[in-house]
Amino acid sequence: MDYRTGTVARVFSIRFDDGDDFLGGLTELIKKENIRNGWFHVIGGLREADVVTGPREPVMPPEPVWQEVRNARETLGSGSIYWDENDEPRIHLHAAMGHHGDTITGCLRKGSKTYLLLEVILFEIAGFAASRPWSEEKGFNIVTFC
């Protein structure tokens, strides 16, 4: 385990409308506002998403199992923001997406289109330096404190 102590800096309340590219729009905002470390919660709906629902087997590095969501889903999720070694923001979002009692839970990675509305509250974290570089050993980007 490794950790740092920080404080909440700015707080953003964000609305995504029907058809908006959620991950693309969030990435644009992160770059525009230069949010280097952050945590966010999302609630609302997605009509489209490509989700990793877990590893094929519990080994390192993991082989991801992908699932495409292509129908309206009620969505509740939480995620973090850190930048990688190429100075690009890396969003790590886990969400539960439900439709008529059928729920998919996973790591939302790409292809995210809003259904009706998504509300996001984003907390910028200040007071420490961190990044999310690629780890060859682990096979994914891992939070690293500087």
Domain ranges (residues) in the chain? 7-145
| The token pair that represents 75 in the structure block | 């969505």
Ranges under pLDDT 70 in the chain: none
| Phi, psi (degrees; rounded to nearest 5) at 100 | 55, 40
The domain 7-145 is placed in CATH, from the list 3.30.70.141, 3.60.15.10, 1.10.760.10, 3.30.1330.80, at 3.30.1330.80
Q: What is the residue-wise DSSP string for 3-14?
A: ----EEEEEEEE
pLDDT score for 79: 98
pLDDT score for 135: 94
| The token pair that represents 95 in the structure block | 């969400």
51-to-20, 114, 129, 146 alpha-carbon distances in Å: 17, 14, 29, 30
CB 10 within 8 A of CB 118: no
Give the DSSP letter of residue 24. H
3-state secondary structure of 72: coil
